[in-house]
Amino acid sequence: MPDLSVFSSSYAEARGRFVDAARAAGARVYEYRDPRQKGPQGEALCLDVAIAGPEDAERMLVAGSGTHGIEGYSGSAAQTAWLLGDGPRRLPKKTAMALFHAHNPWGFAHKARGTEENVDLNRNFVDHVRAYPENAGYAEVHPIVTPETWDDATQAALFRGLDELRARLGEKAFSTAFNGGQFSHADGIYFGGRREQWANYAFREAVVKHVAHAKHAAIIDFHTGIGPWMEHIYLCFHPEGSAARKRARDWWGERAVNLAGVTHKALADYQGVLIDAFAALLPKADVTCIVVEFGTLERKEVQRANMAGRWLRYHGAKHPAQAARVHAAFCEAFYPSDPRWRAAALEQSAEILERGLKGIGG
Ligand SMILES: [Zn+2]
Predicted confidence band of residue 261 (pLDDT cuts 50, 70, 90):
confident
CA of 94 to the centre of ligand 1 (A): 31
Mean pLDDT over 4-9 rounds to: 98
CA of 221 to the centre of ligand 1 (A): 9
Question: Using one digit for the tens of pLDDT, what is the confidence trace for 164-174?
Answer: 999 999 999 99
CA of 80 to the centre of ligand 1 (A): 19
What is the number of alpha carbons within 13 Å of residue 129 lying toward its C-beta? 0
**pLDDT at 266 exceeding the cut of 80:** no
CA of 208 to the centre of ligand 1 (A): 23
**pLDDT at 99 exceeding the cut of 90:** yes
- Choose among 86, 99, 272: nearest CA to 179: 272
- Burial environment of residue 28 by CB neighbours within 10 A (0 to 12, 13 to 18, 19 or more): middle
CA of 49 to the centre of ligand 1 (A): 20
CA of 236 to the centre of ligand 1 (A): 14
Question: Using one digit for the tens of pLDDT, what is the confidence trace for 17-69?
Answer: 999 999 999 999 999 999 999 999 999 999 999 999 999 999 999 999 999 99
Q: Which residues have a Cβ under 8 Å from the Cβ of 116 and sit 6 or more positions away? A: 37, 106
CA of 224 to the centre of ligand 1 (A): 6
CA of 232 to the centre of ligand 1 (A): 13
Specify whether the CB–CB gap between 319 and 248 falls below 8 A: no
Predicted confidence band of residue 83 (pLDDT cuts 50, 70, 90):
very high
CA of 284 to the centre of ligand 1 (A): 28
What is the number of alpha carbons within 13 Å of residue 354 lying toward its C-beta? 11
pLDDT at residue 268, rounded to an integer: 81
CA of 169 to the centre of ligand 1 (A): 24
CA of 187 to the centre of ligand 1 (A): 19
**How much is the pTM?**
0.97
CA of 223 to the centre of ligand 1 (A): 4
**pLDDT at 267 exceeding the cut of 90:** no
CA of 263 to the centre of ligand 1 (A): 14
CA of 93 to the centre of ligand 1 (A): 32
Mean pLDDT of the chain: 97
pLDDT at residue 28, rounded to an integer: 98
CA of 206 to the centre of ligand 1 (A): 20
CA of 192 to the centre of ligand 1 (A): 14
Question: Using one digit for the tens of pLDDT, what is the confidence trace for 170-200?
Answer: 999 999 999 999 999 999 999 999 999 999 9
pLDDT at residue 160, rounded to an integer: 98
